[in-house]
Every structure is written in structure tokens, then in C-alpha cells.
Amino acid sequence: MKKIFLSLVMLFSPSLTLAETNWWQPMSAINDGDTAWVMISAVLVLFMTIPGLALFYGGMVRKKNILSTMMHSFSVTALISVLWVVIGYSLAFTEGNAFIGGLDRLFLNGIGVDVVNQTATIAPNASSIPETVFMFFQMTFAVISVAIISGAFAERMKYSAMMWFSGLWFLLVYVPTCHWVWGGGFMAEGGVLDYAGGTVVHINAGVAGLVAAIVVGKRVGFGKEAMPPHNMAFTLIGAAMLWIGWFGFNAGSAVAANASAGMAMAVTQISAAVGALTWLLCEKIAGHKASSLGLASGAVAGLVGITPAAGFVDPQGALAIGIITSLSCYFSVVVMKHKLGYDDSLDAFGIHGFGGIVGGLLTGIFFNNAVFGGETTIVHQLFIQMKDAAITVIYSGAVSFILLKIVEKMCGGLRVERDDERQGLDISVHGERVE
């Protein structure tokens, strides 16, 4: 069976040979502490999606759509995990060109551990941990990136259309962008600072969500009927899971248990905390009561803002980033969305997309060369951050639009029928309901 499997792999990549593509190293070169920390971090990041994001999003929709909304996160976790193994990891992290990787790790071919000879494969940019751990860690980033998008079109998109769009978007948007920034592509060569995914995850997914919300259209009754959250307790629990899991997201991106991971962990907590308080202050100034939704939104905004900067800023920079990102996301969600009239159901763009852009730009202002051993300047770095953020916005937006139109033709439309939407997607799409 193994020979048949390898033959299929070779069929897709005729030039591939194990000897050429395996990065075998003595197992003694692998650091136990680094490996343990990255394994824990990977589980924390997966925890952010299931159950974290599933509960965070699920609590904000109406009762008739809670299961369908949570299904998005769970379904994407399964789909993207398989696609990552088949081809995503290889295209993102193996040597290729400035725009895309190669096929050396197709079906994870060549990754392994040889206990007899005491060797294991490692990734070139994570030399102290087994490649299996690095691969899984990066898989969890891909999973949550795609899951974030679903918040923009919640309560109205066909399940089949969601799955097709998620898979195609992952292959044609996430994977190339991941290679550009973290896999040795042109953004990495150009000096962009994106420690844990401000560009790759948040800008990418947030912009795709905005495009999807506009193309799919507004929910039936949007702007005319009250659409209050079904269960804010779920949302707060989900936000807490996201907050805790984010330490794996940011501190884990050091890919080692070292001082850089320690600083990333500290600034993550600082930015999240001040972001939450800033949002509550905005509500107070606007004459509203302090809300649990505002508290959760502010915390997530602070976490989004610090993500690209986590390994590059000091605590003082984290305070500034948390405050400014939370203020910006409050404006995006409370003012800009209503002025422009789009229906970003759960503010996937308002917090992740807009916050990712702001956080990416602030990274170019508040970085500390001493923290990461850099030699850049604010003028130079801010230009790079602006340029690469703009490229990501344009690329993700354009390709997402094209993919949505293709999926629309494939699935006979992107959204459920009006009566099905009125009834709720839990019953009409999945045949289940929450009592």
C-alpha cells in the first residue's frame, strides 16, 4: 500500500525523490523544550477555532442559526486539515519561487522520523523541532484563517457554497500569501514584519469576509428587524478561549521556548487587556452601558492588533497598539459599517480585517530593533508594511470575488432560499435545532 501511495505522489511530481527533499537531522539536534512548547501552542491555536471561534460566533447569531454557524468552524477544521496535508503545506513552505512553493511535501511525502537511525526531518525555519510539529502548528493557522471568514456571511450562505469557497480560497489565497510572508516569498525577502499573521491571517480573511458579505447580500430583514445575539454567555466563553489560545498563536510563533516567545506572550496579554478597556471606554463616551459584546470585541481587537507585532515590540508599544487598534475597530464596527451599509454579520472584516490592517501599520511604527535584532527605520518599515498590506487587500479581495462568482455558478447560488433563511439554517440546511 505504501508503494502504491508513493507512486501516486511521484505521478503528480515526477522530479520528486526522497533523497532530494528530506531534511534529515540527528534527533539529538531537536530540542525537547522547544518541541513541547510548539506542540502545546499548536493545540492552543486549534482550541481557538474549535471550540473558541465556534462559540464566539455561535453566541452572536439568532437561536435558529447557532448550529449552522458553529458547523462552519468545525467543517472548515476538517476540510482545511486534509487540504493542508495533501498540498497546502508543500506549496506554502517548501522551496519554490517568490510566489509559490514546490511539491516536495505533496501528501507530506518525505516527512518522518527514523527511530532506528535516530534521525528526523526538520523544517529549515524551525530547526530545533520535528517537521511534523511545525507542519501541524502551521496547519492550525490555516484552519482559523478560513474559519474567520464565515462570520461575515453567517445566517444566509448555503453550506455547500461555504465549503467550496473555503477550500478554493485556502488553496488560491491563503497558501500563496503564507508563502509570500513565511515561506521565503517576495514579502519575506522585502522585509515585511508579520510575526504571527496580521497579513497572512487577519487582513487576508477579513477582506475575503467583506467581499463575501457584499456579494452574498444582506440578511433578510437587515436594518429593519432586530437581530439580537442568541447567547452572549457563549460569546464570552468563546472570547475567553480565543484570548487564552492566542498565546499559542503569538508566543508559539517564536517556534521555540525562548526570550522572544516570552516577550510575545507578555505583549499579547497587555494589548488584549487594554483593547478590552478601550472599547468599554468608547461605549461609555458614546452614552451606552458597558456591554459583554463590547468587552469581548475590544479584547479580540487588541489581540488582532498585536498579532503582527508580537515579536517586534516592547510592552510600551503593546499598550499603544492595543489602544489604537481597539479605537479603530470600534469606529469600523459602530460607525463605518452602518455608514456604508454592508452586512458583515459578525464583524469579520470590522475586527479582523480592519484591525489587521491597523496592527500591521502600527508594527511599522512601534517596532523595537533591540527586541528582534533588527536595523530598520520607521520610514522604511512603514512603507513596507503599507505596501504589503495593500497587496494583500487587493489580491485577497479580487480572488475572493472571482471565486464567489465561480462557486455561485457551481452551486446554483450562494445563499439559501428566502423561506429557508426565515426558518433558520439549523432546520432548513442541517435538519437540527437547539431547543
Q: What is the CATH number of the domain that holds 352?
A: 1.10.3430.10
In a domain, 306, yes or no: yes
Residue 344 has pLDDT above 80, yes or no: yes
Domain range for residue 93? 27-220+239-416
Q: What does the alpha-carbon distance between residue 313 and residue 300 come to, in Å, rounded to a whole number?
A: 18
Q: pLDDT at residue 235 above 70?
A: yes
Looking at the 3D structure of the chain, how many domains does it have?
1
Find the length of the chain: 435
Cα–Cα distance for residue pair 120/107, rounded to 1 Å = 17
CB contact set of 317 (below 8 Å; sequence gap of 6+): 267, 309, 366, 367, 368
Stretch (H or E) spanning 113: strand 113-114
Continuous H helices in 344-377: 354-366, 369-372
pLDDT tens per residue, range 306-337: 999 999 999 999 999 999 999 999 999 999 99
Residue 22 has pLDDT above 70, yes or no: no
Query: What is the value of pTM for the model shown?
Result: 0.93
Q: Is residue 234 part of a domain?
A: no
> How many C-beta atoms lie closer than 10 Å to residue 38's C-beta?
27
Within-domain flag for 388: yes
Q: Residue range 260-270: average pLDDT?
A: 98
CA distances from 239 to 60, 141, 434 (A): 11, 17, 21
Domain-located, residue 111: yes
**pLDDT (tens digit, 9 = 90+) per residue, 190-201?**
999 999 999 999
Closest CA to 211 of 330, 339, 343, 334: 343
d(C-alpha 170, C-alpha 164), whole Å: 10
Q: Is residue 401 part of a domain?
A: yes
Please state which of the ranges 8-12, 63-67, 295-299, 365-369 shows the lowest mean pLDDT. 8-12
What pairs with residue 119 in β-bridges?
Answer: 26, 114
Whether residue 13 is contained in a domain is answered as: no
pLDDT digits (tens, 9 = 90+) for 82-105: 999 999 999 999 999 999 999 999
Q: Which of the four pLDDT bands, split at 50, 70 and 90, describes residue 28? A: confident
129-169: pLDDT as tens digits: 999 999 999 999 999 999 999 999 999 999 999 999 999 99
